[in-house]
Amino acid sequence: MNIDKHLNNIYRQQSRRVQATLIRLLGDFDLAEEAMQEAFTAAIKQWPEQGIPDNPAAWLIKTGHRRGIDHIRRRQTASHNLSRVAEDEPYTSEPDTDHIDDDLLRLIFTCCHPGLAVEAQLALTLREICGLTTEQVASALLQKPATTAQRIVRAKRKIRDAGIPYEVPEHRELPERLESVLKVIYLIFNEGYSSSRGDTVVNVSLASEAIRLARLLAELLPEGEVFGLLALMLLHDSRRNARQDANGDLITLEEQDRKLWDHGQIRSGLAWLEQALQLAPTGAYTLQASIAAAHAEATSTDNTDWARIARLYEALYRQTPSPVIALNHAVAVAMRDTPEEGLKLLDQLTGHKAIQNYYLFHAARADLFRRSGDLPAAKTAYQRALALTQQGPEQRFLNQRLTDLDNAR
């Protein structure tokens, strides 16, 4: 095989792992990145003559480690300051390359540490685990590159100065800390799935980065909720091509052409869900994935198992009693029984201030009024929903509904 191509493959598959180990060994993100780049540069020079080593990742780590230590020494000579890293890592020690997957998992927990601001967790994870450039992270998160760069620099500084460790949390802390990691992955997915500003609802690359991350995590840490989140994202993402029409307008689940769903991805999502359900306790992501699965398995809204969906929302509400879940439960009940039953449940939510400002609450009420034939009430509720959303596609969708109502009279 052509050696450049081989190197490219190794870079794609191994560079994150190599860097994660170098961060542990050198104790510094930026130094590790520099050392990794130098190791790859050395590989480009040496491998064509000497051949590709048996374990390329180990070779790259050893070379990068040596370069990194050289850097530290040069700095020390310049400043006469003893660095902690150099004390811990005498030059002669051979780095341990047997556990590089552990290093990647450690790095995930460091980047998603709750001691960092959520925005910083997102940026750092995309930068360090997904290997995006700062510019790519900024454009994906709709930020100015300078803002993103500053966030990343600050986060790295806090990791260093506050002593955020490079470790997988111990068993007792794992559930809580894993939640923080899963939240970051799901935020990345949602940032891609439904960007909160701008005109295009689906930003393919962030959603697939999140799925890639969850796959990686599922490999490194086989916990039920990791499988559940992966299943949830695969099932949601499988509707990507059916969710918008050619004009970028939203298509509801009911009206989507289910032939456009990615059935390969649905099968994969269902398989991960199967695995998640075998591991107790069933967490919130797994429950949400089960709901997505109920939709994925139905050929239309009419033959959807709404009773099952209503039950799942009830279970979800018991775990996290949020008004948004209550809203979804009410919609499922309306589909199982009648629109009036759903409206009754929605009326019970009007006391929640936050939900009053949530456009989907009013859109759901409007839809149930429409189904029950109360067109004036539907119109008022659609107008209320319209006033509460800033997203182009959502606004166009609500306007279309209003036009349809006027035509129906």
Partner 1 sequence: MKYVALVYYQESIINSMTEKEWHDLNQECIAGVERLTDQGKFVTGQPLQPIETATTVRVRDGEVLISDGPFAETKEQLAGFYLLDANDLNEALQLAGRIPPARFGSIEVRPVRELPPKD
CA distance linking residue 250 with residue 245, whole number of Å: 7
The residues near 125 (Cβ < 8 Å, ≥ 6 apart) are: 108, 111, 112, 184, 185, 188, 213
Q: Rule CB under 8 A: which residues touch partner 1?
A: 113, 115, 161-165, 167, 169, 173
Output Rg (C-alpha) for the chain, integer angstroms.
25
CB of 160 to partner 1, least distance (A): 10
Residue closer to partner 1, measured from CB, 90 or 163: 163
Structure token pair of residue 33: 């990145």
CB of 111 to partner 1, least distance (A): 14
CB of 165 to partner 1, least distance (A): 4
CB of 204 to partner 1, least distance (A): 36
Residue closer to partner 1, measured from CB, 117 or 242: 117
Tell me how many degrees the CA angle 231-234-237 measures, rounded to the nearest 5: 145
CB of 285 to partner 1, least distance (A): 24
Cα 43 to Cα 6, 9, 52, 67, 142, distances in angstroms: 11, 13, 9, 13, 36
Could you tell me which of 122, 148, 120, 153 has the C-alpha nearest to residue 134? 148
Q: By three-state DSSP, how is residue 244 classified? A: strand
Residue closer to partner 1, measured from CB, 114 or 131: 114
Residue closer to partner 1, measured from CB, 45 or 84: 84
Residue closer to partner 1, measured from CB, 113 or 362: 113
Could you tell me which of 218, 174, 215, 208 has the C-alpha nearest to residue 188? 208
Say if CB 42 and CB 88 are below 8 A apart: no
CB of 171 to partner 1, least distance (A): 13
Residue closer to partner 1, measured from CB, 110 or 265: 110
Structure token pair of residue 167: 């470790």
